[in-house]
Amino acid sequence: MTLSAVELWNQNAFLVINAGAQAPALVIAIARMLASLAIYLAMILLIIAWVRRGKTVRFALLDATGAALIALAAAQGITATWYHPRPFEIGLGRQLLDHAAEASFPSDHATLMFSLAILLLCRAETRRWGSGMLLLGFAVAWSRIYLGVHFPLDMLGALGVAAFASSLIWMAGPSLHRWFYPLLVSIYETGIHRLGLPGSVFPRKL
């Protein structure tokens, strides 16, 4: 498949998903909330999991966070070296969410959500969290295409970048779990102890 054929598919797929002229106001409102607020919901859920759950879950959350940081750095590198316009920059579809005219590939929002989800899915103790994060990631991906600020390939690219970053953390996992993560958990628990935070809310030595 040639590059032009891929781009044609990308644009046609975008037009299928993008909100039409008769799109319901309620669906647009839901899409806007997902596009703008879902990431904050994900962060809140992960913080709650970190505070309330034990060592195994905390290590998995650190894996996911590491993958997200690597993935976002890689995504920034891609956007800095290769510019792909957003749909509204080429007059395609409807734009229903304010956004700067900057490189679209890959989507930072989807990169973050998918990279948080993948490694949580890989461990039995966090699989439900990972499943929820993945579903939320797909919802974010849909919303940002629906609202006209991203192409479908931006989301597929985000998934690929997230998978790459997650594989790096997975390979480094044994070393990270052996010395680095215990140090981070120890620093956290020492901090909440010195702050005198209530153990009923911030359990120690889980």
Straight-line distance from the first to the last Cα atom of the chain, in angstroms, rounded to the nearest whole number: 52
Q: Does the pLDDT value for residue 206 go beyond 60?
A: no
pTM above 0.75, yes or no: yes
> Which tens digits make up the pLDDT trace of 32-50?
999 999 999 999 999 999 9
- List pLDDT tens digits, range 91-140: 999 999 999 999 999 999 999 999 999 999 999 999 999 999 999 999 99
Instruction: Establish how many alpha carbons lie within 13 A of residue 108's alpha carbon, considering only the half-sphere containing its beta carbon.
Output: 12
Residue at 76: amino acid letter: Q
Residue 21 has pLDDT above 70, yes or no: yes
Classify burial at 195, counting beta carbons within 10 Å of its beta carbon; exposed 0-12, middle 13-18, buried 19 or more: exposed
- pLDDT value of residue 203: 82
**Chain segment 47-106, per-residue pLDDT in tens:** 999 998 889 999 999 999 999 999 999 999 999 999 999 999 999 999 999 999 999 999
Domain boundaries, the chain: 24-194
Q: What torsion do the CA atoms of 9, 15, 16, 18 make, to the nearest 10 degrees?
A: 130
